Amino acid sequence: MVQDAIRRFIAAEEEFERGTGTEARAADWQFSLTGDEAVQRRVQELSRQTREHFSDRDRFGALSRWRADGRNLSLDDRRQVELYWRDYVGAQEDAATRDEIVRVQTEQAGLFNRFRAELDGRTWTENELNDELATTRDSGRAQQVWEAAKQIGGHAADRARQLVRLTNGAARALGFRDAYERGLTLSEVGEERLFALLDQLEQATDGPYRAAKGELDAQLAERFGIPIASLRPWHYADPFFQRPPRASGPNLDRYFNDKDPIELALRATDSLGLDARKILERSDNWPKPGKNQHAFCTWIAADGSDVRVLNNLDRSHHWTGVLLHELGHALAAEYADRMLPLRLILWPNGIIAETESQTIDRMANDARWLHEAVGIPAPEAESVSRAATEQARLAQLLLARWCLVQAHFERAMHRDPDGDLNTLWWDLVERYQFITRPEGRNESDWAAKIHNAQFPGHYYVYIVGEMAVSQFCAALMREVGGLYGHPAAGEYLTKRLYRLGARWDWEETVQRSTGARLTVDSYVNEWFT
């Protein structure tokens, strides 16, 4: 019987996850901590084995048949067939292509783990460059630091193009236009639906962004002692202008420089009735040589447990917010419904994953948390929170426009990876961020962004996730009164989001957790009106 065959298939897939899948995630974690070349080789081999498993044509054929005629299957069996089919679609390539994709991805990961920029005769970490760029008032120095932050792009660009060529070839062999279209299909995201949301976002943010950037440009011109017309990318205090300059808002870091960000984050999650302590015991949160310089959440066990986060913390408001963000992912995994089949336990795609994480990081600007956890006196905490919320509004404007750059760049990069991406990048930056490109510069600045260099095609999840967060938080406010300090909020998150897992696609998950289909309205109303 078909159902018996499906059950045997699912049992075999779950066994694979408990074996090779678990070993691969553990190796990835170790590699991220050390950048060790021997571990890198092990990661590459396990990645090859994983892609080889999912490339099996016979199993893919069976999934395709079951998917085409699943009328008599249970809801959970039909959903698992759908998700496993998508897992297999993503790995349907010949052995030579598969091995080359794994090699390029692993080498690129090693580059981003180990690379440190050269400036002033020494190496600089990413945090050090960001701090220097954020605090300098010297225009020439800002340019030097900004250019140092882009050095990695020249090392990463060729591999990034090659990765897209390889994945495009595999996708086209299956009838997709390119790997970008295939990636959207695997995530159950309609391209027309996605870019309709992004077009609405562009229209809704155009006026507010122009006004906010005009004010910011005036401040930066005064800061550097130059005309507004002379402002260039390095004056915006962030390598990609994806967040506001620190000097443009309240100096929150002065309240955090003697605080432990881990303790502050625990005060936030405890207030929801959600315990993150075991997660943090398994995690690696402070910088060290050879370690990945970014932040992420992962899990080791096949059922999404043994979850942990990687950070490069310092004692600042920014990194405390990053920690809350990653704990948002981790709590969703920690409190997931493990009575579900393995493939249904965690979120259906990156949009829901970002909804879960970005909901939690909202607490970083909460007045009660600033008072009770950070220790800012109550009247001052209210004032700081209002200023931080206004800064968060600017941050959302910058994020929205930055994500428009990324979404359009990723789609265009997949359509023509051998095109003039250096020029395309600055065309999009000028169009959406209104930043003048550096004169005479022809470098692979786009490849300094790890998302473009290592796993291009998924950046839209951050901004669509923010749309979903606004809609979810509006529902949360109606139902339980807020987030920080509301234990009922933790219960709401658990029942209405975390425990849904991947039983439904992301659109249905948003509908079930908020009571309505996703629109841009809640996001625009919260931040831009």
For the stretch 175-192, pLDDT in tens is 999 999 999 999 999 999
Give percent of the chain with pLDDT exceeding 90. 94
Convert the pLDDT of each residue in 127-186 to its tens digit: 999 999 999 999 999 999 999 999 999 999 999 999 999 999 999 999 999 999 999 999
Question: Which structure tokens are listed for 83?
Answer: 């998700």
- pLDDT above 80 for 249: no
Report which residue type is found at 314.
D
8 Å CB contact between 399 and 527: no
- pLDDT above 90 for 5: yes
Convert the pLDDT of each residue in 16-44 to its tens digit: 999 999 999 999 999 999 999 999 999 99
- pLDDT above 90 for 465: yes
Number of H helices, E strands in the chain: 24, 4
The confidence score (pLDDT) of residue 69 equals 87
The confidence score (pLDDT) of residue 250 equals 83
- pLDDT above 90 for 1: no
> Among 225-239, 336-350, 385-399, 492-506, where is mean pLDDT lowest?
385-399
Helix (H, G, I), strand (E, B) or coil at 308: strand
8 Å CB contact between 176 and 182: yes
Give dist(CA 364, CA 496) in Å, integer. 22
Question: Which structure tokens are listed for 133?
Answer: 């760029």
Sign of the C-alpha dihedral computed for residues 28, 30, 33 and 37 taken in this order? negative
Full-model pTM: 0.90
Give dist(CA 127, CA 286) in Å, integer. 12
The confidence score (pLDDT) of residue 412 equals 98
Give percent of the chain with pLDDT exceeding 70. 100
Which is nearest to 375 in space by CA: 384, 313, 408? 384
Which residue spans within 362-490 are E strands per DSSP?
none
- Quickly tell me which residue has 């959406």 as its tokens: 432
Which is nearest to 399 in space by CA: 433, 434, 428, 366? 433
- pLDDT above 90 for 388: no
Question: Which structure tokens are listed for 93?
Answer: 């390539």
Q: Predicted confidence band at 529 (pLDDT cuts at 50, 70, 90)?
A: confident
Cα separation of the two ends of the chain: 57
Report which residue type is found at 318.
H
Convert the pLDDT of each residue in 197-223 to its tens digit: 999 999 999 999 999 999 999 999 999
Give dist(CA 155, CA 109) in Å, integer. 12
8 Å CB contact between 411 and 181: no
The confidence score (pLDDT) of residue 11 equals 98
Which CATH number does the domain 191-250+339-527 belong to among 1.20.1730.10, 1.10.1370.10, 3.30.70.1110, 1.20.140.10? 1.10.1370.10
Structural domain boundaries of the chain?
2-179, 191-250+339-527
- pLDDT above 90 for 283: yes
Which whole number is the average pLDDT over 42-58?
A: 96
Neighbours of 374 (CB within 10 A): 18
Which is nearest to 429 in space by CA: 389, 456, 398? 398
Mean pLDDT of the chain: 96
Give dist(CA 17, CA 465) in Å, integer. 27
- pLDDT above 80 for 248: no
Give dist(CA 76, CA 502) in Å, integer. 10
Which whole number is the average pLDDT over 312-318?
A: 95
Query: Which residues have CB under 8 Å from 324's CB, separation 6+?
Result: 265, 268, 269, 360, 361, 363, 364
Question: Which structure tokens are listed for 76?
Answer: 């959970």
> Among 57-61, 68-72, 317-321, where is mean pLDDT lowest?
68-72
Give dist(CA 511, CA 515) in Å, integer. 5
Which whole number is the average pLDDT over 67-81?
A: 91
The confidence score (pLDDT) of residue 298 equals 98
Which whole number is the average pLDDT over 285-302?
A: 95
CA angle 332, 337, 338 (to 5 degrees): 115
Q: Which long-range contacts (CB under 8 A, 24 or more apart) does 254-260 make?
A: 255/317, 255/370, 255/374, 255/375, 255/376, 255/384, 256/315, 256/316, 256/317, 256/320, 256/374, 257/315, 257/316, 258/315, 259/315, 259/320, 259/374, 259/375, 260/315
Report which residue type is found at 383.
S
